[in-house]
Structure 1
Amino acid sequence: MEYFTYESELRLLCCRICQTMVTRKQVKLHLRSAPHSLNIQEIRLAQEWASKHDIFEGQLEAHVNLPPRPNDAPPIAALGPPGTGGIRCEFIPERSTSSQSDCPYVGTELRRIREHLRVKHNWDMELKGGRRPAAMTDEERSNSPWRTGVCYQRLFFSGPGSELFEVARGLNLEQSRAQDNESQAALQRAIDAFQSKGKDIRSREAERIDEENDFTAPNPWLRRLGSAVHLKDFSGKKDFLRGLIAMEYEVDPDDPDKSDDAQLRFIHIAFDRLVNHAKAVITSDIVFYTRCWRR
């Protein structure tokens, strides 16, 4: 589908342009809005395509049923490159027996993470106003229940399930990107080499029409017409010429408005007149060579 990719693991659609997830109910509204602004016919085709896949009906259903994504899982490729510089909450309650936090909250600003800790975990450093010395700032970082430098993504722009979540913890994304870029470059080099080889073969085939031997040399009639040189210019355009020949035009000289192509209609009319004139000139079934070249 040119607008969406189907993410079977998540049971969601991902917009190729916006790089956000879409549920079944959101397809129409998403495609009607910018930057798509599609008409109803195109939207119906997209909805028909979406109906063939197992997709969550609504955003709340997806939020309730999707399990938490492991923080060491690779980024979801359809959502684009993950954000960097996030802050992950690592608050551990005093009565907890675990040494790791189970809070999935990820923020992008220190102010937000402090607000989350105060509201959700009832934790506050009781910082006073004014500028703090560097030693106190370092102590704050070391004793703070959060972790910086987090890579993050989000499924939806807003609403249920739009929270940020951590991805690629412990993974070297730069190395992975470098390997992907190298793979893409190698693939592109192979494609370029294949296309260059094909172009070289077509070029050699086009030159064969001028080779004069017992089997391929044009006869005197084609040489007189210059067909060999003329056809050489159409090398590599066989599919284009076949398409022109295969086109079906409705030509009605009595009603120009019904013609598919006005210029082609006039060409057909002129050609018909030329044929009729040639029929009037020819008086026998044999056309002499000198008459063919009479000007």
Structure 2
Amino acid sequence: MLHLRAICPAERTDAVLAALKAEPGVTHVVLLRGAAVDPVGDVVEADVAREATDQVVASLCDLGVDRDGGVTLEQIDTALSDAADRAEEAAPGDGADAVVWEELLARTGEESRLNATFLSFLTIACLLTAVAVVTDSPVTLVGAMVVGPEFGPLAAISVGLVLRRWDLVRRAALALAAGFPVAMLITAVGTWLGSRTGLFDPDLALAGHELDFVFEVGPFSLIVALLAGAAGMLSMTSAKSAALVGVFISVTTVPAAGYAAVAAVLGQWDICLQSIAQLAVNLVGVVVAAALVLALRNRRGQVRDLGRPLGNG
């Protein structure tokens, strides 16, 4: 279940309570009159079954609560209540299959920002890939996959395409378009310094070894990217968030970028170009599959207009 808190003008409180009571998936309704200071108003709290959340939020936004007050949602890890059990049973569908569109939009919007944290993680992931390449270490490569933050913007592009939120698409595309070149450039500089200082032997760095699959583009590259994109979006739109770790490990987006930087410094342009092609295949495959999964879950009439601009915080 999700915990909902709404701050609403006093003159709309009765309408908000009526909207909550009309939804069978809502329970534990609490009213605190005059408790809100900024913005001024009443505070209404409730626990909502995940599969009923989207309809409840839509009802509150139709009353203007999002404009003149505020609506927040928090995940409830444990709820010991017969009333909560009845609410979940009464709500249509299954909680694991429900898509809370406002939650998804807020989450992908947050993860699609081009900022110092995103660039730092992406750069570290590419540098780890460079270390994995010159040491022929699959374990280090897996670490680079897990550290890489690129799935956030990829998911954001998919959400933006399905919901026609072009502002989200532009922001996520900018994060990827700026982030990968910066990370690859820093990785190239690090590789050049390592080769010049004797940290590794350039002649042996790209010799045939266990990591060649990173730049070997083939039909399975696209298949894996499609499956990873589908699994990632299913994870983000359900309560199965732990599956995202498997998604990170399965696709070679960051490894391909790091491999391309190393190959470019060492003058192996064929490997560099193959790695870039691998990167492109993975990026496109993940976005296409994630968008298709989300489109299939975007049933007619399920999504209201989510047209508010994305926040900057």
| TM value normalised by structure 2 | 0.23
Structure of larger gyration radius: 1
Bigger relative contact order (CA 8 A; separation at least 6): 2
- Of Structure 1 and Structure 2, which has the larger fraction of its residues in helix? 2
